[in-house]
């Protein structure tokens, strides 16, 4: 790719699309197309996101570490607190205690704590169900809506255009490329595929090879609990078979499910909600019998669970920005910065971006 201003069409209005569009809008002519009537309608708008520096594979951790600094910069620039410290507690029963210790030995940000400290921190834990606990105090809760809005504001401030309710139905790569949605078309020099679960579908429209994206459904529910319990840490089971957290009278829980799905407007399944309730009840004293709300989103992974960023050598006008999986918000700012440097034809790590070898995220790694 060559540096210099170009016309770019970004497909997808979730955090992936708005973040890469925001970064590129500083020196490119950007149009973002969103299929739905509202931005962030799917996974981004349904995420109970946290930032955990030790969460994910090496690529994800490197991008997350860079994102921490970028979160601070965006918080100051847009006068909003995007991160709020929140501890991450992982618990285990007798049959999983050794597995938890093994996880801790491989995660520098975590350490084992005395089980009585865990019960003090979370008095609602079942004493006969939890025998070991570890904590990561480097985590943060993410204000997802505010983060997303900072990028929307950035696009607008730089003269970019956001077009909603335009579902792309045809892409012709060339010089120029032509992107069509119904009876409207946009010409551009580069198509950025930030379509999340629909990433391979968008690639097929452009006659580009898929990368094997896997949309995995994740279910979340909320229910009311005693508000006097305040705000607790986010609690994960070992292995990651469930998680839950309290926030002043509301309990949010998930079975941490990963059910392969077609790209769709995901809906929660009753069996997954029931599994989540059962898992939380087994390790707590809440005795949940009903819920207030439930929803689902698609966390879309590449086969190796690293993001897919860049262009194939034989498809230079089609730029992948997909496969963020369950880490797309925590590493979002760092990934967008990294991707924007690639679009500009620059070596990201030479310009302060995350130290990620491009071959580890390039779509060329897939046949």
Domain containing residue 222: CATH number: 3.30.9.10
Q: Mean pLDDT, to the nearest integer, of 305-330?
A: 96
Mark whether 167 and 225 lie in a shared domain: no
Mark whether 123 and 223 lie in a shared domain: yes
- In the predicted structure, residue 189 carries a pLDDT above the cut 50: yes
β-pair type (234-236, 88-92): parallel
Number of domains in the chain: 2
Residues 126-175 have pLDDT tens digits of 999 999 999 999 999 999 999 999 999 999 999 999 999 999 999 999 99
What is the pTM for the complete model shown? 0.94
Mark whether 47 and 101 lie in a shared domain: no
Is 201 domain-assigned?
A: yes
Is 45 domain-assigned?
A: yes
* Cα–Cα distance for residue pair 59/323, rounded to 1 Å: 12
* Cα–Cα distance for residue pair 329/325, rounded to 1 Å: 9
Mark whether 355 and 334 lie in a shared domain: yes
- In the predicted structure, residue 1 carries a pLDDT above the cut 90: no
Mark whether 106 and 228 lie in a shared domain: yes
Q: Mean pLDDT, to the nearest integer, of 282-288?
A: 96
* Cα–Cα distance for residue pair 223/284, rounded to 1 Å: 14
Mark whether 154 and 131 lie in a shared domain: no
250, 272, 301 — which closes off a domain? 301
* Cα–Cα distance for residue pair 240/261, rounded to 1 Å: 20
* Cα–Cα distance for residue pair 265/6, rounded to 1 Å: 33
pLDDT at 365: 96
Domain containing residue 182: CATH number: 3.50.50.60
251, 280, 301 — which closes off a domain? 301
Q: Mean pLDDT, to the nearest integer, of 32-40?
A: 91
Residues 42-101 have pLDDT tens digits of 666 566 688 999 889 999 999 999 999 999 999 999 999 999 999 999 999 999 999 999
Mark whether 186 and 238 lie in a shared domain: no
Is 186 domain-assigned?
A: yes
Please provide the DSSP assignment of 176-187 as one string: SEEEEETTEEEE
Mark whether 245 and 361 lie in a shared domain: no
What is the side-by-side order of every strand in the sheet holding 170-172?
170-172, 177-181, 184-188
Mark whether 113 and 220 lie in a shared domain: yes
Is 1 domain-assigned?
A: no
Domain with 101 in it: 87-138+214-301
- Structure tokens, 58: 């090496």
Is 289 domain-assigned?
A: yes
């Amino acid at each position: 790719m060559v540096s210099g201003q170009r016309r770019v069409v970004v497909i997808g209005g979730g955090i992936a699309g708005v973040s890469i569009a925001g970064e590129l809008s500083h020196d490119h002519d950007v149009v973002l197309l969103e299929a739905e009537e509202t931005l962030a309608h799917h996974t981004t708008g349904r995420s109970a996101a946290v930032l955990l520096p030790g969460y994910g594979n090496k690529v994800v951790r490197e991008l997350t570490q860079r994102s921490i600094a970028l979160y601070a910069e965006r918080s100051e620039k847009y006068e909003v607190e995007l991160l709020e410290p929140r501890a991450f507690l992982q618990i285990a029963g007798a049959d999983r205690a050794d597995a938890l210790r093994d996880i801790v030995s491989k995660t520098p940000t975590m350490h084992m704590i005395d089980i009585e400290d865990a019960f003090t921190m979370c008095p609602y834990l079942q004493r006969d169900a939890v025998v070991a606990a570890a904590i990561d105090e480097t985590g943060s809760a993410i204000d997802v809506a505010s983060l997303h809005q900072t990028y929307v504001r950035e696009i607008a401030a730089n003269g970019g255009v956001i077009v909603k309710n335009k579902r792309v139905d045809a892409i012709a790569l060339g010089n120029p490329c032509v992107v069509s949605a119904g009876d409207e078309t946009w010409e551009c020099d580069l198509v950025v595929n930030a379509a999340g679960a629909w990433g391979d579908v968008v690639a097929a429209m452009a006659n580009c090879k898929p990368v094997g994206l896997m949309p995995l459904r994740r279910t979340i529910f909320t229910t009311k609990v005693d508000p006097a319990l305040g705000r607790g840490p986010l609690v994960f089971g070992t292995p990651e078979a469930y998680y839950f957290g309290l926030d002043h009278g509301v309990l949010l829980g998930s079975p941490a499910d990963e059910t392969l799905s077609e790209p769709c407007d995901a809906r929660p399944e009753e069996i997954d909600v029931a599994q989540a309730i059962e898992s939380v009840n087994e390790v707590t004293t809440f005795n949940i019998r009903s819920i207030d709300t439930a929803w689902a989103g698609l966390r879309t992974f590449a086969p190796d669970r690293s993001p897919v960023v860049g262009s194939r050598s034989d498809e230079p006008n089609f730029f992948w920005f997909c496969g963020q999986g369950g880490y797309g918000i925590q590493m979002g700012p760092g990934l967008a910065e990294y991707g924007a440097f690639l679009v500009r034809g620059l070596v990201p790590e030479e310009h302060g971006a995350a130290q990620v070898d491009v071959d580890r995220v390039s779509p060329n790694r897939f046949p």
